[in-house]
Homo-oligomer: A and B are copies of this chain.
Amino acid sequence: MNFCSDNVTGCAPEILEALARANQGPAMPYGDDALTAKVERRIAELFEHDVAVFLVATGSSANALALSCLTPPFGAIYSHPAAHVAVDECGAPEFYSGGAKMVGVPGAHGKIAAAELDQVLAASGRGMVHHVQAASVSLSQATEAGTIYRPDEIAAIGEVARRHHVRLHMDGARFANALVAQNVSPADLTWRSGVDVLSFGASKNGAMAAEAVVFFDKSLAAEMPYRRKRGGHLFSKMRFLAAQFDAYLKDELWLRHARHANAEARRLSEGLAKLPGARLLHPVEANEIFIALPEPIISGLEQAGFKFYRWTEEGPGILRLVTAFNTDPQHVTEFVKTAERLARK
């Protein structure tokens, strides 16, 4: 009954089986194996675009490596102030870029608005030697607030980015959750809306540890092989990263996982939102819920053995609840029932 995060989960049985299947005989190291090549082709198909794909094991490395290909050391990276790249990676983008500056572009519900970005970029001092130079924008999809960007929103941001000669990165640690929340294709959510590079996450959605950096503009990937190696992120036994993606993308496993997580989040949030004193901080569009509840309910849930984070950075009495690919529906039901019982006290 752990709703702390989608990273408290293990991995899907299909992923484990894929690892076992990949463990047959020798394979050339560092990505020169057949399975890695297969996954690269599969990702190209999935996104309906020629792509350069680089597998790594963590979301932070995917993001920081991607951004380092878009941003010179004297560059600025624009993101929502609450973005994972801005606050939860201990400065990984700064490290990988050689000292670029993260600039926050505020916006409601964890999202940047195109108009706000436009203003910030217009005032950024392009060509003025005293100022860091606008280089890239990073969107979180789904956002840290559990909301999602729609293609038209991304396209508007992409248009602003292009006009200001900055590149567009998408941190897709929860890309699957954002995708299944709307009736669009992976292409719609990325290159068709102006995304240059995607951190395509699998770890939070059922993989063990696997992320793919996907370049839609392959010219941006020229330095990536060296940056990945130099960062210590080139796996010798690459087939085991590839195997995870192979299973992840097979038979829509990733979509089924995300649909399950989103559905349980919706069910959980709907159940809780009805309680007296409850208030959702953000629309629940993916698999994260931010909700204010009366303190007796919160502590009652804790005492009942439910695990979750109190989200103190947004104030007292606020919880973050995260569902995952393998969230037990029974746990959700119990969570709501327990909360209801506590509310009646």
Contact = CB atoms under 8 A, between A and B. Distances in A.
Interface of A: 2, 4-5, 7-11, 16, 19-20, 22-30, 56-65, 72-74, 87-92, 94-102, 123, 129-133, 203-204, 208-209, 223, 225-237, 239-240, 307, 313
B16 A20 contact: yes
A236 B203 contact: yes
A197 to B, nearest CB: 15
Nearest to A173: B236
B129 A30 contact: yes
Nearest to A93: B99
A87 B19 contact: no
A265 B25 CA distance: 19
A260 to B, nearest CB: 16
Nearest to A65: B232
Given A8-B27, A60-B232, A209-B57, A88 B130 contact: yes
A98 B123 contact: no
19 contacts: A7-B237, A8-B27, A8-B29, A9-B237, A11-B237, A19-B19, A26-B307, A62-B232, A73-B91, A73-B227, A74-B223, A74-B226, A74-B227, A92-B232, A94-B101, A129-B234, A132-B226, A209-B236, A231-B231
Given A90-B229, A95-B230, A225-B129, A23 B28 contact: no
A332 B4 CA distance: 51
Given A225-B129, A237-B11, A240-B209, A74 B101 contact: no
A180 to B, nearest CB: 21
B74 A90 contact: yes
A89 B11 contact: no
